[in-house]
Amino acid sequence: MSAQPIPYTIRRTVRWGECDPAGIVYTPRFLDWVLEAAESFFADVAGVDWFHLNQRDGLGSPSVSTQIDFHKPIKHGEPFTIEVLVRRLSRSTITYAMRGRNQAGELCFSAALVSCIIDNARMKSVSIPEPIRARITEYQAATAALLEGETRP
């Protein structure tokens, strides 16, 4: 694993096009942000971006389950962060736990995302390649205390 901050965090600012006329984020944007955070995590922590995983390695990482809980609204112009943690790593799946926080550190949303590694040609799950598994396992161990006592998402 490269020297990434713990926990892995994405920083963003809400754009006008992500909001309704009242300036509050459209609900579907949260899923976009969760997927973007997972993609960035995979590239930076697991060591391969989804494009190369797909094109070079013939593997995919489709989502098989998502859950988002909303705690506090986020509005236009507000900076926020998304923390990415790994709740579970199985033979072929990665269960992410994510927390969106506003600039004051208040929890605005929490999410669970399950992705599965598949062989694109057969559309069947496969074991997570060992170099990727090793990096994610190392990260998971380094962040385990951040998930203690939490329930899903």
Q: Residues 31-57: pLDDT tens digits?
A: 999 999 999 999 999 999 999 999 999
Looking at domain 8-144, its CATH architecture is: Roll (3.10)
The pLDDT tens digits for 53-105 are 999 999 999 999 999 999 999 999 999 999 999 999 999 999 999 999 999 99
1: pLDDT strictly greater than 80: no
Least confident of 26-35, 42-51, 143-152: 143-152
Nearest Cα residue to 53 out of 44, 61, 65, 62: 61
Question: Where are the chain's structural domains?
Answer: 8-144
